[in-house]
Amino acid sequence: MSPILLEMKGIAKRFDGVPALDGIDLAIRSGECIGLCGENGAGKSTLMKVLSAVYPHGSWDGEILFDGRPLRARSVRETEAAGIIIIHQELMLVPELSVAENIFLGNEPTLPGGRLDYPAMNRRAEDILRELKLPDVNVVLPVKNYGGGHQQLIEIGKALNKQARLLILDEPSASLTAAEIEVLLEIVRDLKARGVACVYISHKLEEVAAICDTIVVIRDGKHIATTPMREMNVDRIIAQMCGRELNQLYPSLPHTVGEVVMEARHITCRDPDQPRRKKVDDVSFEVRRGEILGIAGLVGAGRTELVTAIFGAYDGPSEGEVWLEGARVDTSSPLKAIRAGFALVPEDRKQHGIVRDLSVGQNITLSVLERFSSLSRIDDSRESREVDTQIRRMGLKTASPALPITALSGGNQQKAVLAKMLLTQPKVLILDEPTRGVDVGAKFEIYKLMLELAAQGIAIIMVSSELAEVLGVSDRVLVMGEGKLRGNFVNQGLTQEMVLAAAIGQGNQHG
Ligand SMILES: Nc1ncnc2c1ncn2[C@@H]1O[C@H](COP(=O)(O)OP(=O)(O)OP(=O)(O)O)[C@@H](O)[C@H]1O
Ligand SMILES: [Mg+2]
């Protein structure tokens, strides 16, 4: 067995007196991949931020040994110099900078005289992107030109550019497709073979099972178990995470699908930079009262563009009509769309979902403040009652609604965004990747909530890259590919293979 590279002993961390980590031990060998598992809010990201000195030495208790020597780093710069590289759960890219500039951010190569060596930077960035199987990304274009999945791979590229001895991947695959995840796992295997140690955090447990040698489960900031993967399987990981067996991944609740509520007609979205290129090409569909409509497709298929255009949030030229309950409605801005009866929970919560400077409670009531205000005075007690109700309903884990939203774990931020949109009492609820970064137990709760809302007659449109989830909860499934609608299936006897075949433009289009 290779030697122990890193040891964390008795790590404890509090936020304003509330314990987030309570005496955690962790040891990693070179070339070993540890799967760090736990429910939303268990403390996974916090533990990794302690390790990488996002929380500097002195702001937590316990001890870290690296190469057998105490590591008392005061900054991420120091841990990086030691070879500890972290890929954060929330993307850290600078949207306006180019892909290459992002990959080299903080360690740009310079020419004699101090100017940046752009040719070298771009060449190396291109090599990295080839390794990530992203050859068609142009390294000189701003990162913001690329969608969530690509951005996530670029973030990974940034880490590959550094000399890692220990690589921490905190939810690296949340917005990747199955094929992209394969590329990622291949890269991790390759790093392992070269002796790099990895900590892999993901709520996609099949992935964890496929890549990790050892599973460490934490719950409520405490260490629960460390087990070799060969003695584990996904069900056992789940049982350790939740402290109970979870015998069902998808809830069932009868709900009747009624008449057509919403119709999208001939929606076309153009690339803001190249208006001749269509990201969505003449897509029409309808959704019925009480129906859950899943939209599947590969990343770049135009799903997010389609739903943001319907909601008036697409930032580029778009055409088409939106009809609600038999009348054409104006959804040319999100505000108009919300007034008309639409709600959208966006894919990228960091950019569009949350307001970082506000508290959990303020974020939740943001979309309906007018309801709590009479003559510009806000009725605080009604507002806080409503917030408490939502927090309970969603099982949202927060020490207090007054905490800044950014203090919540990733999955709990997602629940806050969902709560915010539900308060608007929409007729059509659009969810773009609603369970991204959400743990298995909380996923079940979100599906249950979707089914309850459908049973109340709300039409739900769910964009999701997790095919199992699309098939697990949808009444009907639309499949998009290259901006076009390639399939419209009733979800009976529908298989992942049929959806995939439609997505890549083969097979029977309608079922
Ligand atoms: N800056 C902060 N201020 C206050 N509390 C915090 C802060 N950061 C994290 N917490 C709390 O610490 C606990 C652990 O959070 P952490 O982000 O580590 O969870 P996680 O296991 O990564 O969850 P997820 O799977 O949702 O990403 C949570 O209860 C969270 O609310
Ligand atoms: Mg986390």
Kindly report the number of other CB atoms within 10 A of residue 302's CB atom.
26
Residues in the chain: 511
Ligand 1: which of 22, 45, 55, 199 to mutate, most ligand atoms within 8 Å of CB? 45
Q: Which residues surround ligand 2, an ion (CB under 5 A)?
A: 45, 89, 410
For residue 346, the CA-to-ligand 1 centroid distance in Å is 21
413: number of CA atoms within 13 Å, CB side? 24
For residue 422, the CA-to-ligand 2 centroid distance in Å is 24
Residue with CA at minimum distance from ligand 1 atom 5: 407
Our answer on whether the CB atom of 416 is closer than 6 Å to any ligand 1 atom is no
Our answer on whether the CB atom of 411 is closer than 6 Å to any ligand 1 atom is yes
For residue 366, the CA-to-ligand 1 centroid distance in Å is 22
The DSSP 8-state label assigned to residue 337 in this structure reads H
pLDDT value, residue 369 = 64
Our answer on whether the CB atom of 241 is closer than 6 Å to any ligand 1 atom is no
Distances (CA, A) of 65 to 14, 43, 379: 21, 20, 52
* Residue 55 to residue 76: CA distance in whole angstroms: 9
pLDDT value, residue 352 = 67
4-242 to CATH, choices 3.40.50.300, 3.60.21.10, 3.40.50.11720, 3.40.309.10: 3.40.50.300
For residue 359, the CA-to-ligand 2 centroid distance in Å is 18
Kindly report the number of other CB atoms within 10 A of residue 317's CB atom.
12
Q: Which position has the token pair 């969810």? A: 431
* Residue 366 to residue 369: CA distance in whole angstroms: 6
100: nearest Cα among 132, 128, 135, 136: 128
pLDDT value, residue 245 = 67
Phi, psi for 221 (deg, rounded to 5): 75, 5
Answer whether 320's CB lies under 8 Å from 267's CB: yes
Phi, psi for 458 (deg, rounded to 5): -75, 140
SS3 157: helix
3-state SS of 41-99 is: CCCHHHHHHHHCCCCCCCCCEEEEEECCEECCCCCHHHHHHHCEEEECCCCCCCCCCEH
Tell me the sheet residues that pair with 450: none
Our answer on whether the CB atom of 160 is closer than 6 Å to any ligand 1 atom is no
Q: CA 35, 7, 48: angle at the middle one, nearest 5?
A: 50
* Residue 57 to residue 38: CA distance in whole angstroms: 24
SS3 267: strand
* Contacts for 318 with CB less than 8 Å, ≥ 6 apart: 267, 268, 269, 270, 280, 309
For residue 41, the CA-to-ligand 1 centroid distance in Å is 5
Positive or negative, the CA dihedral 440, 426, 376, 366 is positive
Domain ranges for the chain: 4-242, 257-341+427-511, 349-425
pLDDT value, residue 106 = 81
251: nearest Cα among 394, 450, 475: 450
> Residue 259 burial by CB count (10 A; 0-12/13-18/19+): exposed, middle or buried?
exposed
Ligand 1: which of 409, 413, 414, 445 to mutate, most ligand atoms within 8 Å of CB? 409
Tell me which H or E stretch contains 181: helix 178-193
Burial 423-462 (b: 16+ CB within 10 A, else e): bbebbbbbbbbbbbbbbbbbbbbbbebbbebbeeebbbbb
The DSSP 8-state label assigned to residue 406 in this structure reads G
Give CATH for domain 257-341+427-511. 3.40.50.300
* Residue 242 to residue 395: CA distance in whole angstroms: 14
Q: CA 214, 215, 217: angle at the middle one, nearest 5?
A: 150
Our answer on whether the CB atom of 407 is closer than 6 Å to any ligand 1 atom is yes
Query: Mean pLDDT for each 10-residue chunk of the chain (511 residues)?
Result: 92 90 96 95 95 96 96 95 90 90 88 88 93 88 86 89 93 84 92 94 93 96 96 92 77 90 97 90 97 89 94 93 97 92 83 81 79 60 84 84 88 86 90 86 85 94 92 96 94 91 72 48
* Residue 29 to residue 441: CA distance in whole angstroms: 31
* Residue 452 to residue 446: CA distance in whole angstroms: 10
Burial 240-251 (b: 16+ CB within 10 A, else e): bbbeeeeeeeeb
257-341+427-511: same fold as 4-242? yes
Q: Which position has the token pair 């001895």? A: 165
Residue with CA at minimum distance from ligand 1 atom 28: 41
Tell me which H or E stretch contains 265: strand 260-270
For residue 336, the CA-to-ligand 2 centroid distance in Å is 34
* Residue 113 to residue 99: CA distance in whole angstroms: 24
Tabulate helix, strand, coil % of the chain (nearest 5).
35, 25, 35
* Residue 463 to residue 302: CA distance in whole angstroms: 10
* Residue 256 to residue 269: CA distance in whole angstroms: 32
Answer whether 285's CB lies under 8 Å from 488's CB: yes
Ligand 1 atom nearest to 412, measured from its CA: 26
